[in-house]
Amino acid sequence: MKTILKLTILFNCIIYSSISHSQNTTIDSLKKVIRITKIDTSKVNIYNQLSFEFKESNLDSAFFYAQKAVNLSEKIKYNNGLANGYINQGNTNIILGNYKEARNAFEKAKNTFEKLLKDDEKNKSIKNGLARSYASLGVIFSQESNYYAALENYQKALHIYQEIDQKNSVSKAYNNIGVVYKSQGNKIKALEYFEKALKIQKEIGEPTVPVTLTNIGVIHFEQNNLTKAISYYNQAEKIFKYSDNLRGYALLNNYLGDYYKKQNNLAKAIVYYNQALTMYESLQNKFGASLALYNLGQLYYEQNQYDESMNFATKSLAYAKEIGVLDQIFHSEKLVSELYDKMNNPAESLAHYKNYIVARDSITNLENNKKFVQAEMDFEYKKREALLAEESKRQTQFLIFSALGIVFLIGFIFLIYNRGQVKKRLTLQKEVAEYEQKALHLQMNPHFVFNCLGSISSFIVQNGTDSALKYLSKFSKLMRLTLEYSKGSLIPIDKEIESLQNYLELEQLRFHNKFDFDIRSSEKVEFNMGLPPLLIQPFVENAILHGLVPKENKGKIEVVFDVENGQLICTITDDGIGISKSKQMKENSMQAHKSMALEITKKRLEIMEATILKSAQIDIREIEKNNEITGTKVTLRLPVQYIQ
């Protein structure tokens, strides 16, 4: 949760940072012009420009002028000025942390720009405004952890920016997409998009270069590559010192504080956290200030300086409550509770611990409510579709039975055909459900479950509680992902990779690091592509049990996703003992299970072909080198499908 909080602040830096070397002069000039302007549309444009200029220095003034632009635009029915006024209102609200109001404003802006575009399809200014609306909505969806919707909006913005050849905005869109992938834990994709953004920014001299350098540094920091991380941080710091992007500079200071804290250079960590706090407060950004205060409080707490820690923790909590950020309330309440406990004040400690529990439960409930609302919307949609279909069927029957004999005969034939199709479809659905259930049973292999729990138990007995908690968390996430996506027809590739990552790490634990693994996807794999759930893991398990475990030396598994000729290609490669030797060893205890897994998978692919009328194939073969078996390669060729 803490990472999400920081990333939300980062989004704001990427989208809304601006460089202005003569801001005060510009504002004074605009105020002079507005006094003598008689044309209402010109006044609206100046109000919007003033709102934009004030955004970095005075949020109250920024919102005031945005509201004036909206009010006057509505009065004179000037939709272009109205849409830009909504954009400015959204920008101000997002900086203040008022995400609900910001989202409403951006939705209004998007709808208004879309109406304008219908009348003037080639207007680049309108297209740019629509792209800004999509990008801004992407920020909101990111803050709500709705990463699919965030990526969808960012991609829409990116396509428009590319269409109108606006390179600086293309670079920002790349940056935002990278941030979303980073928050999903897909560091490879994140780094790919950050580097795309950096290349364009350097080419055109874009002032957001230090933001992108910061993002790349964060990736390396989280990968524990501290040398590269500080290199990128230092490059960003040199540029920030001479720019007006105070918000981005504040975030970098937070990251530098994290870096020096990890290096145990607490003096420098305190300096950078304090610098971040000063910058955020000068910007009236209570969201970022709350984070910086919490970081300072946590640092002093770890040094047993409880009075100092309490000062920062209570201020962080106050800001978080004021702007209603549950995630930060959750962390700050916990820290304050722990501090009161250390200061021998059990009553206050208990009170704040209860608040911490309430915040934690609220966050959980929000996530559950989102899922419930989505399910409810899906149900209502299907219900309406069913009612419409039923009404259509009744009308058809009425016409059929009212017609002449020949029409009745045609209707009767059609009815027989329709029933046959329904029966065929129901039979197919039954088979799908049956084989998906069998696939779930394979995924939840009792041997794997019990061995994982046994390994985790062993960690606990050996006082390795940190490791036990780490792997228990991975085991829990794997079970949750398995159950959550077992009923759906498709699972996002990112979720499949996450599931395989957790599974393979648990199997590494189970077999005492008997093997290494690598999971990757090519640039051709898009974020909204999907594949049937519970399809890949049985082959990975087979590679471990029959290929790598019997091998004397340490082995390796590679799982690669790619797109070729309109097909999604998944290859599972191991450098184990091979199929022939595995059969010779006659591991009868697992052979039946894996044979069943292959049979079930083949049947599921046949059903998929019958359902969507596209080819789905599987190929399993041994890898030979110098007339010796060096492993096994499984290739799945699936139709490209997109998650709607």
Q: Which of 641, 515, 519, 634 is nearest to 578 (CA)?
A: 634
Sheet (strand 641-642) strand order? 491-492, 529-531, 641-642
Read off the pLDDT of residues 537-548 as tens digits, 9 standing for 90 and up: 888 988 998 889
Whether 334 maps to a domain, the answer reads: yes
Residue 71 lies in a domain: no
Whole-number Å distance between alpha carbons of 148 and 181: 10
Roughly how many angstroms between the first and final C-alpha of the chain, as a whole number?
27
Residue 493, token pair as written in the block: 């590739």
Q: Which helix (H) or strand (E) holds 179?
A: helix 167-183
Taking only Cα atoms into account, the Rg of the chain, rounded to an integer number of angstroms, comes to 29
Q: How far apart are CA 45 and CA 47, in angstroms?
A: 5
Residues 379 and 310 in one domain: yes
Q: Find, among 445, 451, 453, 505, the residue nearest to 474 by Cα.
A: 505
* Cα separation values, 253 from 280, 292, 403, Å: 11, 9, 79
**Alpha helices, H only, 303-445:** 306-323, 326-342, 346-402, 405-443
- Considering the domain architecture, whether residues 483 and 623 belong to the same structural domain is answered as yes
What backbone phi and psi angles, to 5 degrees, belong to 625?
-145, 120
pLDDT value of residue 461: 66
510 in any annotated domain: yes
What's the mean per-residue pLDDT of the chain?
A: 81
Statement to judge: residues 343 and 442 lie in one domain: no
Q: What is the CATH number of the domain that holds 373?
A: 1.25.40.10
């995400």: which residue's tokens?
99
Give pLDDT tens digits for 477-501.
777 777 776 667 788 898 889 889 9
Residues 449 and 588 in one domain: yes
- Under DSSP, is residue 352 helix (H, G, I), strand (E, B) or coil? helix
* 433 and 356 within one domain: no
Q: What is the pLDDT of residue 161?
A: 92
CA 123/CA 116 separation, integer angstroms? 9
Check pLDDT > 60 for residue 444. Answer: no
Helices marked H in 205-245: 209-222, 226-240
Measured N-to-C along each axis, helices 99-119 and 79-96 cross at an angle, to the nearest 10 degrees, of 160
The reply to whether 32 falls in a domain is: no
Domain count, the chain: 2
Looking at the fold, whether 398 and 465 belong to one and the same domain comes out as: no
pLDDT at residue 424 is higher than 70:
no
* Whether residue 398 is found in the same domain as residue 433: no
Dig out the tokens for 134 from the structure. Answer: 């999509």
Instruction: Find, among 3, 2, 57, the residue nearest to 26 by Cα.
Output: 57
Q: Which of 354, 385, 402 is the last residue of a domain?
A: 402
The mean pLDDT of 39-48, rounded to a whole number, is 88
| Cα(365)–Cα(376) distance, integer angstroms | 16
In the prediction, which pLDDT does 423 show? 59
Say how far apart CA 457 and CA 465 lie, in whole Å: 9
Domain identity same for 438 and 394: no
- Give the residue-averaged pLDDT of 108-128: 88
pLDDT of residue 611: 73
Say if residue 434 is in the same domain as residue 397. Answer: no
Q: Which of 293-297, 319-323, 356-360 has the highest mean pLDDT?
A: 293-297
Pairing state between β 491-492 and 515-521: unpaired
Distances (CA, A) of 567 to 350, 530, 640: 57, 12, 5
End position of a domain, from candidates 357, 386, 402? 402
Is 533 a member of any domain? yes
Note whether residue 124 is domain-resident: no
Q: Would the pLDDT of 299 be above 70?
A: yes
More confident call, 301 vs 18: 301
Domain match, 393 and 447 both = no
By C-alpha distance, which of 129, 76, 136 is closest to 101?
136
Q: What is the pLDDT of residues 45-104, one digit of tens each?
A: 888 888 888 877 788 888 898 898 889 989 998 988 898 999 988 888 888 878 888 889
Query: Which of 367, 402, 437 marks a domain boundary?
Result: 402
- Ramachandran sector of residue 145 (left: φ over 0; alpha: ψ -120 to 50; beta: rest): left
With contact defined as beta carbons under 8 Å apart, do 568 and 638 qualify? Answer: yes
Strands 555-564, 529-531: pairing kind: unpaired
Contacts 24+ apart (CB under 8 A), 467-475: 471/505, 471/506, 471/509, 474/502, 474/505, 474/506, 475/502, 475/506
Task: Residue 624: give the domain boundaries.
Answer: 429-642
Asked if 149 and 177 count as a contact pair (C-beta separation under 8 A), the reply is no
The verdict on 486 and 629 lying in the same domain is yes
Q: What is the pLDDT of residue 579?
A: 86
pLDDT at site 636: 93
Segment 134-183, tens digit of pLDDT? 999 998 888 777 888 888 999 999 999 999 998 889 988 998 999 899 88
- Whether 138 is in a domain gets the answer no
Q: CB neighbours of 51 closer than 8 A, spacing ≥ 6?
A: 61, 62, 63, 64, 65, 66, 69, 85, 88, 92
Residue 169, domain member (yes or no): no
Highest mean pLDDT among 113-122, 266-275, 327-336, 529-538: 266-275
Q: Do 381 and 434 share a domain, yes or no?
A: no
CATH code of the domain covering residue 577 = 3.30.565.10
- pLDDT given at position 510: 80
Residue 517 has pLDDT above 90, yes or no: yes
Pairing label, strands 515-521, 529-531: unpaired
Q: What angle do CA 253, 257, 261 make, to 5 degrees?
A: 170
Lowest-confidence segment of 381-395, 450-464, 553-567 by average pLDDT: 381-395
- The label of the residue with tokens 């540029």 reads 239
* Tokens of residue 552, six digits: 């004397």
